[in-house]
Chains A and B, each alone.
Chain A
Amino acid sequence: MKISANHPLAIGCIIIFFIALFVIFGPLFTSYSQHSQNLAISLSSPSIQHPLGTDYYGRDVLTRLIYGGRISLGIAVFSAIIAVLIGTVLGLFTGYYGGFPDLIIMRFVDVMLAFPRLFIVLLIIGLGGSSIPALIWVIALFSWMEIARIVRSEVMSLKNRTYVKSARAQGFSVNRILFRHILPNTINPVIVATVLSISTIILVESGLSFLGLGVQPPNASWGSILNDAKIDPLGTWWLSVPAGFLILFSVIGFNLIADGITEELDPRKN
């Protein structure tokens, strides 16, 4: 494997690496707290003290972008992990057993996919309130379907492989066959799907927060900082542009990584 020749993967990793640095080590370089208000300097444009200006309450935008990034990315990663777990387990069992349960679950998946995800999530959050754990769960519960489908189709082809048949003929238990002999061989597409779903979830969360239904004040996320700018996006460009770019770049970064991994795992390459 020559990673150096794989430009998408390299570029994606560099982008995500810098965003991660920014989010993790950012607090070391700002002296402000994300919540400390100073109404006297409300909505001041960028200056030496506040490199990215301040918001309505006079809070430092740079600091809020750092902490907001932790929340945005954290929600995305945790939701994606939960979604992958649900999707993988359901995909494994439906793919292996087939039959009636498979039919039911897959039609359920179709129904879930048929709903516009953002609106359903909006509805639930709107009715039930939005704490961060609630956001994670609700987004995860509406993101596992693609993964279930991918895993299921992989399993359907793997279960007819000769080595699985031999294992059955020797009396291996179903769990052993599934988790030790089939699951590891489905892992490649699952990794790609996970990375891709992280980037879609970043968008979903930003969308929710932009509409005011995601992360609630005083906490920030990139989407909610965008939301702060919506009265005058051009006039208060230091609120909208940096947050927008962070969202854009992390989505691009994760997409590039997914592309790169797909290429790296392409059997023709080895």
Chain B
Amino acid sequence: MSNVPKGQISIEELENVHITIGKIVGAIEEKYEKTEAGGMTPKPGVSALRDWDHSLLSRYQPVYTPMCDQCCYCTFGKCDLTGNKEGACGINMEGHQAREFLLRVITGAAAHSGHGRHILHYLTDKYGKDHPIDVGPSNLLAPNIQTVTGIEPKTLGDLEPAIEYVEEQLTQLLATVHMGQEGAAIDFESKALHGGMLDHVGMEISDLAQISCLGMPKSDPEAPLAEIGMGCIDATKPMLLAIGHNVAGVANIIDYMEEKGIADQVELGGLCCTAIDMTRYQMDQGGVPHAKVVGTLAKELKMIRSGIPDVIVVDEQCVRADVLQEASRLSIPVITTNDKIMYGLPNRSNDNVDDIIEDLTSGKEKGALVLDLDLLGELAPRLTLEMSPIRKEKGIKALPNEEELKVLIDKCVQCNACELVCPNNLPIMKAMEIGADGDFTKFEFVHDQCAGCGRCDQACPKEIPVLDVIEKASQKAIMEEKGHIRSGRGQISDPDIRAEGVNLVMGTTPGIIALVGCSNYPDGTKDLYKMADEMLRRNYIVLTSGCSAMDLGMYKDENGETLYEKYPSKFLGGNLINVGSCVSNSHITGTAIKVAAIFAQRNITGNFEETADYIMNRIGAVGVAWGAYSQKAASIGTGCNRYGIPVVVGPHGSKYRRALIGKPYVEEDWKVFDARNGEEMPISASPEFLLTTVETVEELMPMLAKNCIRPSDNNMGRMIKLTHYMELSQKYLGHMPEDWYKFVRSETDLPLAKREELLKILEKDQGWEIDWKRKKILSGPTTKLDVTAQPTNLKRLCKGEC
């Protein structure tokens, strides 16, 4: 092997050969480490990648499902666009929906990059612009930043031009949303894809900065486990609850409590991504996380209404708008710490801690805006210790007691208003009916599926606090809500990619399933657990982050183990990896980029299109945002889409208004070029979509297996993927999928144990010609197995083109 030249090897006219690449990987790595010349599109502007987008959108067409048939953007309107009519400015429904989608994406991207800007400034002030970026044993530190901007950051200061680029582009995109101007839906779509790509740069900036400065795990498969669940909170201690996505302030709180030796006296818990990042803080050397995770946004109102928190600190993003009102009813002071949420509170950033404490403990003020995070570090824990006895003494009662519960349930007149208004149409009326006889099982069912929105309360004509009733009646189940979550490990490291890249490209590790996003599930949290467990058992790599990472830790198997305890967390098949919080989603696209850069020696620097082309045709990865509701989930998914990574959202995701779905029955849509000679090469229709919705997890699982199939699969890889697709369809849909044969390129793609049986079906049902002596397919498949083929969507990459 030592004589093999470094660089690309082309073996023509070899069929059915299974090549295992071992030592070449070392050579590839050497190549990467040499400085590469920049790619074609460093810091692309709004139209720079338009051709790429249009080619994606010609295969995956936008499918619009408007949330509203009217447009009320400007004073020309409002305009009724029903039936794809044009409004007064000339835009039609399609164009308007694409514009609405773009707006969602840039809102999400702005939330992440606004976070990135805040934390980068804060950390640069504190640690200096020369503070090194240290995210683990990697040379490729910032795959998204490098691919998109061409910048290879080494220090915090190097992140500055990258965030400036994102901000400038987001402004340009926002400008296109102004009335008039763009009329073509496809160009709004291209802009949305641009926004999604920017989002991954913004997220990466945030996470690189915080991992480097706040001692978060650095690509650590052994990152510690943290406690999670409402049931794990010790309500006997004074409790401080942090909600949001930006850990900067809470890090100071933890430092203060450690320094003063009061950490044991305060129960520190968190909701949403701040909670995840609290469990990452200072865990790069291992240890016991400084905080517990209460759960996702779905638990926010429930946790406040439990009355357990003595003080609430909020920062930014997924935080309910009514935290102050809800908390004040229960004498819980609220501290807001970020420009994004101020709740109309007085700014106390320059005041004395004792004065603020006096005003809050006396009830003179309901809360305070504290933008000085050093002040916050001292204020929040001290206030918690003081508030706890005061609230106890006041006898603050949150949920109804047993007798009151009965009275409330008896007030129900079975009008069904709550069920109609509930976003999930949960059977609350039925729960009330059987709850009247003391049977609370239906309430427990409702609690499990309830997203904690509080709409039922507002609808009830009898003024029953419906959510409180649900929560009180489910107390037993809530006490059992305890689990473990592995604190986020951050990036997948370069050595991880070296070890596993080949299996991903050949398909012998059947795929990466990325479970991300929020908690607006269609049928409760357990679905996520079921799905992850099934795919892990089948040797898929499951990456997770944010709220999904939390909910995966909420269930235990018969041995009392959560998935994080049951499965290891290396970057290998059958491993479960929590990358971290919302902004850590950039490591998912980052992983795919790293495979292109490290395993395949592609020049990624400022070279988006070629990197995406590589990923799209070779890396079997599917993102799943099963409970997606935020705009951030839309931008994360859209960023994946521009790299050619398909994303599935749960049924609520249909409210994002548009999907990107291909038509497998249109043959000309499923062709790529073979870069060796520029010839067109038919491929199987996978991924079938870039963004779609799915009804149930049972439907989802076979779909995941199918959509991990890629043109580059070798015969072993395709056989493995096809086996999972067929088995999962049989297990969950009760049938052999109708299109399985479309993924068969040769008999070697068929599972060995079933080969003969399947060949018979191919002969009988599809009319394929089989040589039964050699058990070989002679004719029939529409796609060819050729491990040396180099599938690409970019004609210019083909031999002889440039």
Q: Is B truly associated with A?
A: no
